[in-house]
């Protein structure tokens, strides 16, 4: 009996020890995960917002209490609405374990904080342009003669005349989706290019090249084409938009009738108009009048702010944008103004 009782006590101690170890493991892992998203700059410590984060939770993590979230908001004047923060945003923090020596005596202004937005899938977003891209080759044949291709499939490429296809190099796979009209003029503005994946070349001959698909962003099809990789950075420095731009939304990348938050879309202004990556704009809904107002009444009574967007990529006369906020469904033709 004493032996059995002693064995039970040992088992209880071992079980308790294992539970404690597991708890410590998960706590340590969680903290390590948070630390991975913190960077130090000359102006302080910055945290990259993750999916599901709120200022309440972050205040509990980085301050003494979740009730101090207004202070966290106060130190981040780039956040217009404290109830809406988005994955990829960088916010200024003071982590309690960093010590008071890191705290600045003066409060930062909007101009003093160099704001960044991190958009990890930046390599996957397409564009609209008039000038054709320099096609290097066409996916002419798949080893098993499949029409739809995916990661790992081996393909054969028919070279084009624009340049060489080098063994060991990686190339973007793309597909033209067709002509795009500017909704404000109903005139052709360019062709839409959908980036479908990445291909690595395994063999290159004068009459053909062979490669393997290493990434798939969308469905890859036979007769998709390849082009050089584009140099894009996931960390985007935020910039003010252009006043009185007279720009509008054109369409979503996926051809949806309604455009919502986190959607990739296109606008009808580009580099030639002063558009730059990182600029932010507000989407407006214009409240229109009707015949009952009389012939001398204005066409629009007022404009309401119903969304915001961030410029991810620019062409000469168009730009690719990310919808960072939408209070309701956005539509093609809605005007934009500089974000304030």
Partners of residue 46 on adjacent β-strands? 39, 92
Give 241's pLDDT tier (boundaries 50, 70, 90). Answer: very high
CATH topology for the 235-338 domain: Thrombin, subunit H (2.40.10)
State the residue for tokens 């107002």. Answer: 293
68 with 56: CB under 8 angstroms?
A: no
Partners of residue 39 on adjacent β-strands? 46
- Greater confidence (128 vs 38) lies with 128
In tens, the pLDDT along 122-172 reads 999 999 999 999 899 999 877 677 778 889 999 999 998 767 899 999 999
CA distance 263 to 297: 36
Q: Is 119 buried (19+), middle (13-18) or exposed (0-12) by CB count in 10 A?
A: buried
Instruction: Please give the CATH number for the structural domain made up of 123-228.
Output: 2.40.10
According to the model, what pLDDT value does residue 158 have?
93
According to the model, what pLDDT value does residue 118 have?
86
According to the model, what pLDDT value does residue 257 have?
86
According to the model, what pLDDT value does residue 73 have?
81
CA dihedral in degrees (18, 21, 23, 27; nearest 10)? -160
CA distance 141 to 155: 6
In tens, the pLDDT along 69-125 reads 877 887 777 787 777 788 888 888 764 444 444 444 445 554 444 578 888 899 999
According to the model, what pLDDT value does residue 114 have?
55
Query: If you average pLDDT over residues 237-251, what whole number do you get?
Result: 93
According to the model, what pLDDT value does residue 77 have?
73
Chain centroid to Cα 15, Å, comes to 45
**Per-residue pLDDT at 293 exceeds 90:** no
- Greater confidence (235 vs 107) lies with 235
- DSSP category for residue 254: T
Q: Is 322 buried (19+), middle (13-18) or exposed (0-12) by CB count in 10 A?
A: buried
Q: Do domains 37-118 and 123-228 have the same CATH topology?
A: no
* Cβ burial 284-308 (10 Å sphere, 16+ → b, else e): bbeeeeeeeeeeeeeeeeeeeebbb
180 with 224: CB under 8 angstroms?
A: no
314 with 276: CB under 8 angstroms?
A: yes
**Per-residue pLDDT at 2 exceeds 80:** no
According to the model, what pLDDT value does residue 47 have?
87
CA distance 1 to 5: 6
Q: Tokens in use for 19?
A: 């539970």
In tens, the pLDDT along 271-284 reads 999 999 999 999 99
249 with 334: CB under 8 angstroms?
A: yes
State the residue for tokens 């052709």. Answer: 188
In tens, the pLDDT along 176-202 reads 999 999 999 999 999 999 999 999 999
201 with 226: CB under 8 angstroms?
A: no
According to the model, what pLDDT value does residue 129 have?
96
Q: In the chain, where does DSSP find H-type helix?
A: 2-35, 55-62, 69-74
CA distance 271 to 278: 13
**Per-residue pLDDT at 20 exceeds 50:** no
Instruction: Indicate the average pLDDT of the chain.
Output: 81
Query: If you average pLDDT over residues 29-57, what whole number do you get?
Result: 73
Partners of residue 180 on adjacent β-strands? 190
Share in percent of the chain as helix, strand, coil (round to 5)? 20, 40, 40
**Per-residue pLDDT at 243 exceeds 70:** yes
**Per-residue pLDDT at 289 exceeds 70:** no
Q: Concatenate the DSSP letters of all residues of 71-120 into one string.
A: HHHHT-TT-S-TT---TTBEEEE--GGG-GGGS-SSPPPTTTS--EEE-G
Query: If you average pLDDT over residues 226-233, what whole number do you get?
Result: 93
Q: Tokens in use for 139?
A: 């996916």
CA distance 277 to 38: 24
State the residue for tokens 């067709």. Answer: 178
According to the model, what pLDDT value does residue 105 have?
43
Indicate the class that CATH gives domain 37-118: alpha beta
276 with 291: CB under 8 angstroms?
A: no
Domain ranges across the chain: 37-118, 123-228, 235-338
According to the model, what pLDDT value does residue 11 have?
53
State the residue for tokens 């059995």. Answer: 4
- Greater confidence (55 vs 183) lies with 183
According to the model, what pLDDT value does residue 276 have?
96
């Amino acid at each position: 009996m004493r032996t059995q009782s002693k064995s039970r006590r040992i088992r209880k101690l071992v079980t308790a020890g294992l539970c404690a170890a597991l708890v410590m493991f998960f706590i340590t892992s969680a903290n390590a995960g948070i630390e991975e998203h913190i960077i130090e700059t000359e102006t302080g410590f910055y945290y990259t917002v993750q999916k599901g984060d709120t200022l309440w939770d972050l205040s509990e993590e980085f301050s003494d209490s979740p009730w101090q979230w207004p202070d966290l908001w106060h130190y981040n004047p780039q956040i217009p609405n404290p109830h809406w923060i988005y994955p990829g945003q960088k916010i200024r923090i003071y982590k309690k374990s960093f010590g008071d020596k890191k705290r600045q005596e003066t409060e930062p202004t909007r101009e003093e904080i160099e704001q960044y937005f991190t958009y990890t899938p930046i390599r996957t977003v397409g564009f609209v342009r008039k000038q054709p891209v320099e096609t290097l080759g066409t996916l002419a044949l798949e080893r098993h003669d499949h029409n739809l291709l995916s990661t790992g499939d081996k393909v054969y490429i028919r070279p084009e005349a624009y340049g060489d296809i080098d063994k060991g190099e990686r190339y973007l796979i793309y597909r033209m989706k067709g002509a795009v009209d500017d909704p404000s003029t109903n005139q052709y503005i360019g062709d839409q290019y959908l980036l479908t994946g990445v291909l690595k070349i395994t063999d290159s001959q004068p009459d053909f090249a062979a490669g393997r698909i290493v990434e798939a962003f969308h469905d890859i099809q036979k007769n998709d084409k390849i082009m050089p990789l584009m140099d894009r950075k996931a960390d985007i420095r935020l910039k003010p938009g252009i006043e009185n731009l007279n720009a509008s939304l054109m369409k979503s990348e996926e051809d949806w009738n309604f455009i919502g938050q986190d959607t990739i879309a296109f606008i009808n202004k580009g580099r030639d108009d002063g558009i730059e990556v990182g600029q932010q704009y507000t989407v407006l809904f214009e409240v229109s009048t009707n015949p009952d107002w009389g012939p001398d009444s204005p066409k629009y009574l007022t404009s309401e702010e119903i969304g915001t967007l961030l410029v991810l990529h620019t062409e000469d006369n168009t730009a690719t944008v990310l919808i960072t906020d939408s209070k309701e469904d956005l539509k093609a033709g809605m005007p934009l103004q500089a974000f304030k």
